Structure 1
Amino acid sequence: MFGFMNSGKSKPVKKGLKIIIVGCGKVGTTLVEQLSKEGHDIIIIDKNAKKVQEIANMYDIMGIVGNGASYSVQMDAGIEETDLIISVTESDELNLLCCTVAKQVGDCAAIARVRTPDYSKEAGYLREKLGLAMIINPELEAAREAARILFLPSALEVNSFAHGQAELIKFVIPEGNILDGIEIAELRAKIHTNILVCGVERDGEVYIPGGDFILQRGDVISVVASRKLAREFLSHIGFETKQVKNTMIIGGGKAAYYLAKNLLDVGIDVKIIENNKERCEELSVLLPKAIIINGDGTDQELLKEEGLSYVESFVPLTGIDEENILLTLHTRQVSKAKVITKINRINFKDVIAKLDLGSVIYPRYITSEAIIAYVRARRASLDSNIETLYHMFDHRVEAIEFRVYEESEITNIPLKDLALKKDLLLCFINRNGKIILPNGQDSIQVGDTVMVVTTHTGFNDLKDILA
């Protein structure tokens, strides 16, 4: 068995932060939902009184109707005693202004959502000059996630850890596969690749498996390994590991631009179908190597004419979830293309889970995970900090990468001698760029990053793994 697990109890939760969230759209609502669960004191600000009232009542938090960039509104919200302001309105400029005002008035950290490509190119400059903790771009992050999947199309999800040195890959075990009926403890002997199975979903239940867990066809499993070994493992068990040669994107918005640029940079051919003629002209200038078609991406005849039946990958990025879902289902019927479905809202999640949508990406969750990782890091002690956070299996499992800054009660001790919480797996230790899948003799050292997968939620600090 690779990785390390043990058993134990929970510890008391640390005191929450005071957080102001400006903007009650999809991302703002998701942040309220996630951060209120983690015990933070939240105040929301939005110009829409109905939205403010709905969210304030639903999550039992304080709401203020007004302009979040207004000095008086921020004072009413208690900016002077606030730890963090997060501005996620629809306007990049308003978000930057909210954070700038807050930094002048209060001694708080500030996070702004900025989506326009012009500003995104200058994100580092803006962050430094305005003193922001983070600039987050949901469309860019969604495009990066989609690109990672298209680079390894046999996977449902590909998440990156240790600055790209390690990957967490999710896929379904097909019928007749070598993994069907294999006990996890036998994996290394039979597969000859150093990988770790860190999560399994079967019949709606999620498991963090021990060595005696037997894999079955139809299981949705997540494995972690170094980037090179992850591909070797998938190839060994019969999966295609080459990136796609071409893709068709429906919709020419910001996410489509970011994804197309990412793919063209590595030699993948891109065709974009966009309804708005002016936007097509803009994209032709921005993406000279892409083929830009002005037309209705939901027109079946047009899709057929443009080669949907033989394209290698298909990504609907319209602003309407229902259109994206129907386009994916249609593509499944007429093509063998790898499909990625972008979903912004999450109503009818149970229904969506039962549809054959291929890989599904939720930009609002990608955004909220980056922000929650930062918020948890603010609550942590000085000896460790959160580097990366991903939610797995519909938010029932968390994968967290911690960096170890100082010695503590968990460093320099063999893992077998640590009393760890139940339902928790230490997946890898990244030591100077080398990925170690640990056994009981290994120990955590200062300077390492350590990845943990657990069904517990709200870990702020690596010491939270202890019983």
Structure 2
Amino acid sequence: LIAVTTNDEVNMIACLIASIQSKVVTKIARIRNLEYLEVPQMLDKQHLGVDLHINPELEAAESIARILEVPAAHQIIEFAEGRVKLVGLHIARESSITGVELQYLSALQPTRGILIAAIQRKGELLIPHGYDKIEVGDLVWFICQSEDVNNALQAFGVTAHSARKVLIYGGSKVGYFLARRIENEVSVLKLVEPDSARCEQLSQELSRTLILNGEATDQRLLEEEDVGDMDVLVAVTDDDEDNVLAALLAKRIGVPRVVTLIKKSGYLPVLQAIGVDNVVSTRIAAVNKILQFIRKGAVLSATTLGETDAEAIEFEALATSDVVGKTLAELKFPKESIVGAILRNDEVIIPGGATRIMEKDRVIMLARKSSLTRLERMFSVKLEYF
């Protein structure tokens, strides 16, 4: 049961009724009221029967915080408690790896330990093979250990550094969550909010954030606050159009990267083309949180790749599943899927065809949705086990 009405109380009651009627149904509730979130024990399985409570604004803030760690990235997805990252990167210009067949990239020292998992080109997602090439304009998804992300970005000709000076436009829930999340991690954090009463409230709750009353679409304000010296502007008001306008104005003034929150998914395909570097959707952030609870088999986590028809999934290799003890070449996974990494104890393995899956391995895959049912069966417990 997934209860995502606009009323928190209705969602909680729906989960409670479902738990009374059935003990096996997984129950998920959307909770937006911060007062409920401050009493997590009330929302647990013992009291209201809620298996998972999600707050789309909180999930969106976490997504933005990950982007700020690597502002050059389009999207960052973490696996294995953050030890493995799947990074989406726009290829804006020629580099040493553009035009080179993927099978020869291992000969380039900077790309060792990196696997190209997918390429999005002109709106189409490609699960690549050895003969495919990276082209300028592609959105490339690569997977590697977290400590290798900077080396990977350098191989693509991108300077890697985290954002140290950040301006947030919008004291919305997302803006508040984000400021609270990063204010002890950055050197300069400013938050611009048009509503003076909201500014007063935020100033009492955020101790290391400079709160400014004004509009980030006001060029004079941006120039007075020397916004061009910021590393990133994040526009997270509740108005999509305001967010886009503020981001474009900031780019014109000289801000290197801009991140925009949107609610209307129809804007996603065009924002990159008009100069918005990163786009975060509260809807997609919430869906990604839900996915691991509705996937079958030994799924530890699952995340959609933007608006594509693909997901990045982390499976656990159970002793009684079809995959244990076999090499990737023997398993014959669906063509529209790829194994990006295997976590075995504390070792991260970027696999090849001869890599063998062992019991309790955590296998990170990227696949089109048409292949997911077959993958779930392959990683599930075999019927003869029962």
**If the length of structure 1 is used for normalisation, what is the TM-score?**
0.76
Q: What SS does the corresponding residue of 2:241 show, helix, strand or coil? A: helix
User: Aligned pair 1:410/2:323, yes or no?
Assistant: yes
Specify whether residues 291 and 461 from structure 1 end up closer, same or farther in structure 2 by C-alpha distance, changes over 3 A only.
farther
Q: Does the 8 Å contact 1:169/1:223 carry over to 2?
A: yes
User: Aligned pair 1:196/2:115, yes or no?
Assistant: yes
CA distance in 1, matches of 2:125, 2:374: 24
Deviation at 1:174?
3.0
Give the aligned residue type for 1:198.
A
Q: What SS does the corresponding residue of 1:446 show, helix, strand or coil? A: coil
Q: What SS does the corresponding residue of 1:140 show, helix, strand or coil? A: helix
**Which residue in the other structure is 2:137 paired with?**
218
Q: Does the 8 Å contact 2:317/2:362 carry over to 1?
A: yes
Q: Does the 8 Å contact 1:165/1:433 carry over to 2?
A: no
> Which of 244, 261, 265 lines up with 1:342 in the alignment?
261
Q: Does the 8 Å contact 2:26/2:293 carry over to 1?
A: no
Q: Does the 8 Å contact 1:402/1:461 carry over to 2?
A: no
**Which residue in the other structure is 1:206 paired with?**
125
**Which residue in the other structure is 2:5 paired with?**
89
Q: What SS does the corresponding residue of 1:130 show, helix, strand or coil? A: coil
**Which residue in the other structure is 2:382 paired with?**
none
**Which residue in the other structure is 2:40 paired with?**
123
**Which residue in the other structure is 1:182 paired with?**
100
User: Aligned pair 1:421/2:330, yes or no?
Assistant: no
User: Aligned pair 1:376/2:273, yes or no?
Assistant: no
Q: What SS does the corresponding residue of 1:198 show, helix, strand or coil? A: strand
CA distance in 1, matches of 2:304, 2:294: 15
> Which of 16, 36, 50 lines up with 1:100 in the alignment?
16
How many residue pairs match? The answer is: 376
CA distance in 1, matches of 2:352, 2:328: 7
Q: Does the 8 Å contact 2:333/2:375 carry over to 1?
A: no
CA distance in 2, matches of 1:95, 1:145: 24
Deviations along 1:27-60, one digit per CA (max 9) or x if unpaired, are xxxxxxxxxxxxxxxxxxxxxxxxxxxxxxxxxx
CA distance in 2, matches of 1:158, 1:455: 18
CA distance in 2, matches of 1:240, 1:119: 42
Deviations along 1:73-102, one digit per CA (max 9) or x if unpaired, are xxxxxxxxxxx2x22233334432332233
**Which residue in the other structure is 1:143 paired with?**
61
CA distance in 1, matches of 2:217, 2:21: 49
Q: Does the 8 Å contact 2:163/2:186 carry over to 1?
A: no
Give the aligned residue type for 2:72.
S
Deviation at 1:362?
0.9
Unaligned stretches of 5+ residues in structure 1: 1-83
Give the aligned residue type for 2:19.
K
**Which residue in the other structure is 1:440 paired with?**
353
CA distance in 2, matches of 1:359, 1:208: 23
Deviations along 1:257-284, one digit per CA (max 9) or x if unpaired, are 1111111132342111112222111111
CA distance in 1, matches of 2:197, 2:17: 35
Unaligned stretches of 5+ residues in structure 2: 380-386
Deviations along 1:147-193, one digit per CA (max 9) or x if unpaired, are 11111111111111111110011112232312222221121211342
Deviation at 1:237?
3.9
User: Aligned pair 1:252/2:171, yes or no?
Assistant: yes
Specify whether residues 196 and 397 from structure 1 end up closer, same or farther in structure 2 by C-alpha distance, changes over 3 A only.
same
Give the aligned residue type for 1:226.
Q
Aligned ranges 1:25-424 → 2 under 5 Å: 84=1, 86-107=2-23, 108-123=25-40, 126-128=43-45, 129-192=47-110, 193-352=112-271, 354-377=273-296, 380=297, 385-392=298-305, 394-424=307-337
Q: What SS does the corresponding residue of 2:202 show, helix, strand or coil? A: helix
Deviation at 1:127?
1.8
Deviation at 1:293?
0.9
CA distance in 1, matches of 2:322, 2:119: 31
Q: What SS does the corresponding residue of 1:243 show, helix, strand or coil? A: coil
Q: Does the 8 Å contact 1:161/1:167 carry over to 2?
A: yes
* Cα RMSD after superposing both structures: 2.1
Q: What SS does the corresponding residue of 1:223 show, helix, strand or coil? A: strand
Give the aligned residue type for 1:178.
S
Specify whether residues 225 and 291 from structure 1 end up closer, same or farther in structure 2 by C-alpha distance, changes over 3 A only.
same
CA distance in 2, matches of 1:176, 1:440: 30
Q: Does the 8 Å contact 2:233/2:255 carry over to 1?
A: no
Name the % identity.
30
**If the length of structure 2 is used for normalisation, what is the TM-score?**
0.91
Deviation at 1:134?
0.4
